[in-house]
């Protein structure tokens, strides 16, 4: 049993080493225009809604620096997948004028583990698990802030259907 546990951790660490570029860095406060989404059902529709809203704001989606993001308010390890609270977001330079169920959200400035992955949707859980194992294995502890993902591409346009995504874990 214990041997299986350590083998699983080693598999995650090996997978991370082969599939991620990991850095620990200070990041400035980041701002997001967001909508709350609960669970994994219809998540694609939530992304479509935030994109539609951003397009309606004029230049927000025209800027090549604009990125989509997902901020996690719960952990899939503790909360049932259909109850996990997350914010589906557009990264903005500063808080923006919002309306309806769109709200401003920010990620605190501070030290973060940033893992860049080029992965299929099926690899997201393995990527998060491996990054948290890497965090503990390298002597870091999670800070009291929320982890998030920033997408660098539209995986529907990737020839292999992969997302290029940066995973952020706030650390102490």
Percent pLDDT > 70 in the chain is 93
Residue ranges per structural domain of the chain:
21-170
Angle between helix axes 124-137 and 2-19 (nearest 10 degrees) is: 100
CB 146 within 8 A of CB 70: no
Q: What does DSSP assign to residue 73?
A: S
Q: Does domain 21-170 have CATH number 3.40.50.980?
A: no
pLDDT tens digits for range 2-25? 565 555 677 766 777 778 899 999
pTM of the predicted structure, to 2 decimals: 0.91
Give, in degrees to the nearest 5, the angle at Cα 77 between 27 and 138: 45
pLDDT tens digits for range 17-58? 778 899 999 999 999 999 999 999 999 999 999 999 998 887
Which residues have CB under 8 Å from 69's CB, separation 6+?
32, 88, 89, 90, 91, 148, 149, 150, 151
């Amino acid at each position: 049993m214990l041997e299986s546990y350590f083998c699983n951790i080693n598999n995650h660490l090996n997978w991370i080493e082969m599939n991620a570029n990991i850095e620990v860095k200070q990041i400035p406060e980041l701002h997001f225009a967001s909508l709350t989404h609960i669970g994994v059902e219809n998540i694609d529709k939530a992304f479509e809604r935030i994109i539609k809203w951003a397009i309606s704001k004029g230049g927000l989606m025209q800027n090549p620096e604009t990125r989509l993001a997902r901020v996690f308010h719960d952990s899939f390890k503790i909360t049932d997948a259909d109850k996990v609270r997350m914010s589906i977001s557009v990264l903005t330079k500063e808080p923006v004028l919002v309306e309806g169920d769109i709200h401003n959200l920010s990620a605190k400035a501070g030290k973060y583990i940033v893992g860049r992955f080029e992965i299929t949707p099926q690899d997201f859980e393995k990527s998060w698990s491996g990054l948290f194992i890497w965090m503990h294995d390298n002597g870091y502890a999670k800070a009291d802030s929320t982890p998030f993902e920033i997408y660098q591409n539209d995986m529907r346009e990737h020839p292999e259907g992969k997302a290029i995504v940066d995973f952020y874990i706030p650390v102490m």
